[in-house]
Amino acid sequence: MPQLDPAPWFATLVFAWVIFMTLIPTKVLAHEYPNDPLAIAAEKTKTHSWNWQW
């Protein structure tokens, strides 16, 4: 049964993982998000206490 011969499939698997582990993470990590969460966190929001009239 030729589908059980690992020779062509192992090379394809290794080549695919080399692509996945080198090219794709560098592209994902180089992505810049349009909404910077640090800019929002830098602004102090003023909180108001509630005056409950019990």
**Position 6 in a domain:** yes
Strands (E), 1-54: none
Nearest C-alpha neighbor of 25 from the set 35, 17, 13: 17
Banded model confidence at residue 14, pLDDT cuts 50, 70, 90 = very high
Q: How many domains does the chain have?
A: 1
Say which residue the tokens 């692509």 belong to.
Answer: 19
Assigned domain for 8 exists: yes
| pLDDT digits 0-9 by tens, 17-41 | 998 898 888 888 888 777 766 665 5
Helix (H, G, I), strand (E, B) or coil at 52: coil
Q: Decide if 4 is inside a domain.
A: yes
- Residue 24 counted as domain residue: yes
Whole-structure pTM over 0.85, yes or no? no
**23: closest CA among 11, 35, 15, 33?**
15
For residues 3 and 7, give the distance between their C-alpha atoms in angstroms, rounded to a whole number.
Answer: 10
